[in-house]
Amino acid sequence: MIHPVRRLTADDWRAARATRLRALADAPGAFASTLAREEAFDEATWRTRITDNAWFAAGDPAVGLACGIPEPGDADGRHLVGMWVEPARRGEGVADLLVDAVVAWARADGGRRLALWVVDGNVRARRCYERLGFTLTGERQPLPTDPSVTESRMLRHLV
C-alpha cells in the first residue's frame, strides 16, 4: 500500500494533533513526552509547533508521523523526533519514507547531520534507524519523562 508523505502546515493542526496523540497513547514509553501533556496543548500551540518545525505525515488519514527540528546548540545539526507508524502498517516501509522526508528537509535546510534519541530496549526502532544509516554515538541520557529509563543518541551524516 502506498502512503505518500507530505509536510504538514499549520492548518493541518487537527490531523497533527490526532496522529500525535495516537502515537503517545500507542507507545508511551518511546517518547520524551506524555499524552496528558500534549492533550492539554491548545490550537495556537499546535500551530506554532508545526510552523517552527518540519512535521511530516504518511498517508491521509495519517498512518505515520515524523518531525524534524533544529539541534539545540548546533547550527549544522538537525534532529528527528516523534517517529511513529501505526501498528498495523509497520514493516511496510512507511518509516523509510518518513525518514527520507526528514532527511530531505534537513539537507535543504542546510543541515550536515541528523541526530535522534532512541530509548534503550526499543530494538525495533533502533534496528530501523540502523538500516536507514544512523549509528550509535555512545552518548546516553535518562529519558526526561522517566529517568529510570535511558536513551541513546544516534547520528546520520548528511554530507
Q: Between 50 and 94, whose beta carbon lies closer to ligand COA?
A: 94
Q: Regarding beta strands 54-58 and 64-71, do their DSSP bridges make them parallel or antiparallel, or are they unpaired? A: antiparallel
Tell me how far apart the alpha carbons of residues 134 and 11 are, in angstroms, rounded to a whole number: 32
Q: Between 7 and 90, whose beta carbon lies closer to ligand COA?
A: 90
Please identify, among the stretches 32-40, 47-55, 91-99, 140-148, the one whose residues bind ligand COA according to the rule CB under 6 A. Answer: 91-99
Residue 158 beta carbon to ligand COA: minimum distance, rounded to whole angstroms: 18
Tell me how far apart the alpha carbons of residues 86 and 120 are, in angstroms, rounded to a whole number: 21
Interface with ligand COA (CB under 6 A), residue total: 17
How distant, in Å, are the alpha carbons of 44, 52, 95, 102, 126 from that of 132? 34, 25, 9, 12, 10
Write the DSSP symbol of residue 126.
H
Is residue 35 classed as helix, strand or coil in its secondary structure? helix
Q: Between 43 and 87, whose beta carbon lies closer to ligand COA?
A: 87
Residue 129 beta carbon to ligand COA: minimum distance, rounded to whole angstroms: 8
Residue 85 beta carbon to ligand COA: minimum distance, rounded to whole angstroms: 4
Contact positions vs ligand COA (CB under 6 A)? 27, 30, 83-85, 90-91, 94-95, 118, 122-125, 127-128, 131
